[in-house]
Amino acid sequence: MTKAADESGAGSKAKAPKNNRRTMWAGVLFLLLVISGVVFGGMKANQYLHDEQQMPVQVIDFSGDYQHIDITKLERLIRKAQPGSFFALDVNDVFELVEAQSWVYRASVRKKWPNTLKIYLVEQQAVAKWNEDLLLNPYGDTFNDEGVEIDLPRLYGPGGSEKTALEGFNSMHALIGTTNMAIDELSLSERFAWQVQLENGIRLNLGRQDFIDRLQRFIDVYPLLAQQEKAVRYVDLRYDTGVAVGWNENDSSNTTNKES
């Protein structure tokens, strides 16, 4: 091999690394451009999807059987708490907000493409008033009446006795429902003694024990009491075999003990 050939070969080897470096940097630059384009496109797409003007929640569709839930107020609360974009709206947050409302017992929330939020509502069922300022549902849970006026039996008792009071009321209501009388008010004392006010104005003192048996005793003796000329004011049933009766007259100390 000649000297010229050796020099030519050495020059080619020197140029090859330079070409490889150029190719590598061109590839890196292309990759950076692609990544930048993807990131920029993702940011623009995210802005578009979260833009209330581009993807608004136009409709909040309420369904279910309800009478006392203020739908206008509820929709206003949802729109205030959540962004208007369909994709940015958090279904779980809306669910918690809806179920926190007093008259809502249960709710389900879901999105419907492209612009609707569907909410199904189950309303609380009020069965009694509790201590004047709350309502009871059939399970003994309390909730705020939010100013809704409903004619319901009134129950009173110490805190934490809601379920006990309601169970007692239900048992007494079922028993006295066999007559033409009804319970207007029920009170449970701190010592868990029962007192009942009937719609006809008669007050019953049932004590702490065997209150169902004592109520049955009143039902048995009431036809005899109703035959009297004086109206019955109260009946004390805390006796083993009889009752003490107070009559509606000026002399409130006048009582009669009737054997059952």
pLDDT score at 30? 66
Work out the mean pLDDT of the chain and round it to a whole number: 85
For the ranges 118-127, 149-158, 226-235, 244-253, the lowest mean pLDDT is seen at 244-253
pLDDT for 174 beyond 50: yes
The residue with greater pLDDT, 1 or 184, is 184
227 SS3 class: coil
pLDDT for 59 beyond 60: yes
Name the band, by pLDDT with cuts 50, 70 and 90, for residue 46. low
Write down the pTM of the prediction.
0.75
Annotated domain spans of the chain: 59-123, 128-259
Q: Percent of the chain having pLDDT more than 90?
A: 68
Alpha-carbon Rg of the chain, whole angstroms? 39
Residue 121 to residue 64: CA distance in whole angstroms: 5
Q: In terms of CATH, what superfamily is 59-123?
A: membrane protein fhac (3.10.20.310)
Largest CA distance in the chain: 148
51 SS3 class: coil
Which among 122, 138, 47 is positioned nearest to 85, based on CA atoms? 47
Cβ atoms of residues 107 and 96 within 8 Å: no
Which among 203, 213, 172, 208 is positioned nearest to 192, based on CA atoms? 208
Phi, psi of 224 (to 5 degrees): -70, -40
Residues 6+ apart with CB under 8 A from 25: none
pLDDT score at 254? 47
pLDDT for 255 beyond 80: no
List, for residues 87-117, the tens digit of each pLDDT value. 889 999 999 999 999 999 999 999 999 999 9
pLDDT score at 85? 86
Classify domain 128-259 at the CATH topology level: Rossmann fold (3.40.50)
Q: Which residues of 139-169 are buried (b: 16+ CB within 10 A; e: fewer)?
A: ebeebebeeeeeeebebbbeeebbeebbebb
The residue with greater pLDDT, 3 or 173, is 173
